[in-house]
């Protein structure tokens, strides 16, 4: 079956531009996570959705970052007024159920480069 | 708060040799522990996970890991390395509650020499 997909795979933005990153989770998966992976580092948590509810956004680095999942399936991560430090790979993951023991299935990521 | 430390950002082994990738964690509650592998330009793929059942966990591609509570460790091993094992490996910890995110270590890049 289809896994988690993300688009675009690569995005180049000029500093100050707004960007929108899309995540299509596995159908029927309740939980959806966004992570940020800087070059040479492990992924770091950004935000978590259970269905359409954003239950944890403690990892979002600033108020320029905004995420939504309005119908409990597709999610969009939006970054306003991009800065060079936003350059990273943004990973989306979904899991069938809530609960930390559940496997998270990851998409291929969107590599964002801010010039 | 949870954290994960992976000793050795780069590990090099010869093809056919034992693979040992180290992971130590800290957690205020009994953790769930995971090993993921990441190939270039791909997402993370689960190798194995520990969820408080058997302490020796077997995963895909002959990888296994042993949970040692007294040492707060969850090291990953494979008896014989293949060239195709060359990749980045991440150890991660999660709590028990709904929405518990994964906290990752910094990763270990495994290189396999012919």
Of the candidates A42, A45, A50, the beta carbon closest to that of B98 is on A50
pLDDT for residue B93 is more than 80: yes
Which of A50, A60, A101 is the best residue to mutate to test the B interface, defined by the most B CB atoms within 10 Å of its own CB? A101
- State mean pLDDT over B80-98: 89
Tokens of A25: 């989770």
Among left, alpha and beta (phi > 0; psi -120 to 50; other), residue A46 is: alpha
Q: Please give the Cα distance from A77 to A61 (Å, whole number).
A: 13
Tokens of B29: 């509650």
How high is the pLDDT of residue B11?
97
The answer to whether the CB atoms of A100 and B105 lie below 8 A apart is no
For chain A, the average pLDDT equals 94
Q: Could you give the 3-state DSSP secondary structure of residue A31?
A: strand
All residues of chain A having their beta carbon less than 8 Å from the beta carbon of residue B101 are 33, 35, 45, 48, 56, 59
- State mean pLDDT over B79-99: 88
Residue with tokens 């979002």: A60
- State mean pLDDT over B21-45: 88
Whose CA is closest to B75, among B50, B43, B95?
A: B50
ω into residue A8 within 30 of 0, thus cis?
yes
Residues A37-85 pLDDT 10s: 999 899 999 999 999 999 999 999 999 999 999 999 999 999 999 999 9
How high is the pLDDT of residue B113?
96
Q: Please give the Cα distance from B56 to B47 (Å, whole number).
A: 13
How high is the pLDDT of residue A95?
93
The answer to whether the CB atoms of B44 and A106 lie below 8 A apart is yes
How high is the pLDDT of residue A45?
95
Tokens of B30: 């009994």
How high is the pLDDT of residue B95?
75
- State mean pLDDT over A94-112: 89
How high is the pLDDT of residue A1?
58
Q: Please give the Cα distance from B103 to A108 (Å, whole number).
A: 19
CA distances, B27 to each of A17, B47, B48, B73 (Å):
39, 21, 19, 11
Backbone angles phi, psi at B62, to 5 degrees: 70, 15
How high is the pLDDT of residue A49?
95
Look at strands A88-95 and A105-106 and give their pairing.
Answer: antiparallel
B107 vs A: CB within 8 A: yes
How high is the pLDDT of residue B60?
94
How high is the pLDDT of residue B80?
97
CA distances, A51 to each of A10, A67, A82, B25, B46 (Å):
27, 13, 28, 30, 23
- Comparing alpha-carbon positions, the chain B residue that sits nearest to A58 is B101
Which of A24, A35, A42, A56 is the best residue to mutate to test the B interface, defined by the most B CB atoms within 10 Å of its own CB? A42
- State mean pLDDT over B28-43: 86
Q: What is the DSSP letter of A81?
A: S
How much of chain A exceeds pLDDT 70, in percent? 99
B101 vs A: CB within 8 A: yes
């Amino acid at each position: 079956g289809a896994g988690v997909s993300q688009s675009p795979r690569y995005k180049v933005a000029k500093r100050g531009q707004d960007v929108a990153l899309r995540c299509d989770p596995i159908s029927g998966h309740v939980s959806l996570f966004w992570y940020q992976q800087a070059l040479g580092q492990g992924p770091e948590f950004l935000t978590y959705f259970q269905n359409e509810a954003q239950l944890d956004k403690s990892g979002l680095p600033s108020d320029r970052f905004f995420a939504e999942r309005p119908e409990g399936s597709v999610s969009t991560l939006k970054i306003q007024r991009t800065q060079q430090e936003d350059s990273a790979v943004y990973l989306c993951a979904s899991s069938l159920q809530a609960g930390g023991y559940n496997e998270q299935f990851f998409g291929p990521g969107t590599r964002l480069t801010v010039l | 708060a949870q954290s994960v430390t992976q000793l050795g950002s780069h590990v090099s082994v010869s093809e056919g040799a034992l693979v040992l990738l180290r992971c130590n964690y800290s957690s205020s509650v009994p953790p769930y522990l995971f090993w993921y592998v990441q190939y270039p330009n791909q997402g993370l793929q689960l190798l194995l996970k520990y969820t408080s059942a058997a302490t020796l966990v077997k995963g895909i591609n002959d990888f296994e890991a042993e949970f040692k509570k007294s040492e707060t460790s969850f090291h990953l091993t494979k008896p014989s390395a293949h060239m195709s094992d060359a990749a980045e490996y991440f150890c991660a910890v999660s709590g028990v509650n709904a929405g518990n995110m994964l906290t990752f270590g910094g990763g270990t890049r495994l290189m396999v020499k012919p």
